[in-house]
Amino acid sequence: MPTIFVDESGSFRECNGERYFVIASFTVGDPKRTAKRFRAWCRSKFPKKMRFLPEIKHSNSGISEDLRLRTLNHISKLDVRIRYAYLKRGNIPAEYIKKDGLQSGLLYAQILGEAIEQYFPTSDKTFFVICDQRRLKGVTNAQFKNTLTMRILAKAPKGTVVRVDRVDSTTDGNIQIVDWIAGAFAAHLNEKPLGEQCMEILKDNVIGTGKELFKTNKYGSKD
């Protein structure tokens, strides 16, 4: 299986009325070519003061609506095959909320595992996952990788090779691409400006439908 690139939109805490947290992923035939083409786009199309920044996020200010949509349209033409999952921030299970705060590392490991399960069943025997570095409260980097690896192996064919890497997004063009994808879906779900247009641009790249996680709220009742 090609490498799976994963990123998410924002934090687990509700901010500016955004109720939904999104985790997006994609595969592509030639990751090096895709990353190169995205960086070339950023360095030729964005305002001069932004062109050589190590990373331009979907959430960055100073990007016009037209450029934001054209960038997503460029991404849609890179042969990315997208899957995504989402949750209402108010539905985070109580087991992840401790006296010292939200156990965000454990929660992220669970959510990422749920999102990766969208790639099963598969006959592929190589499974490479690359995600952005983020603070993992309540779990070490090694524990995070092991948890996700064991979850993949439980679903994968016998003999599958699994590798999970966490990288600095400023050094990886594909992680920057999936940041834009996650931001676009978050804009749609949170009914933000351009949300409808974002979804329209990317819809043909999406495999299946978005997967909603934790459909019951943290007190165990239905919304």
Question: Which residue range(s) make up the domain with 120?
Answer: 4-212
Give the span between the Cα atoms of 210 and 222, in whole angstroms: 19
Is 31 inside a domain boundary? Answer: yes
Is 51 inside a domain boundary? Answer: yes
Instruction: For 179-213, write each residue's pLDDT tens digit.
Output: 999 999 999 999 998 999 999 999 999 999 999 99
C-alpha dist (Å) from residue 10 to 19, 22, 27, 155, 179: 11, 8, 22, 28, 10
Q: Give me the CATH number covering residue 194.
A: 3.30.420.10
Is 219 inside a domain boundary? Answer: no
Mean pLDDT of 1-10: 89
Give the span between the Cα atoms of 131 and 106, in whole angstroms: 15
Is 218 inside a domain boundary? Answer: no
Count structural domains, the chain: 1
Lowest mean pLDDT among 13-17, 110-114, 182-186: 13-17
In eight-state DSSP terms, residue 139 is S
**DSSP H helical segments within 77-170, as ranges?**
104-116, 141-155
- 212 forms beta bridges with 86
Task: Reply yes or no on whether the pLDDT at 158 is more than 70.
Answer: yes
Is 222 inside a domain boundary? Answer: no
Is 217 inside a domain boundary? Answer: no
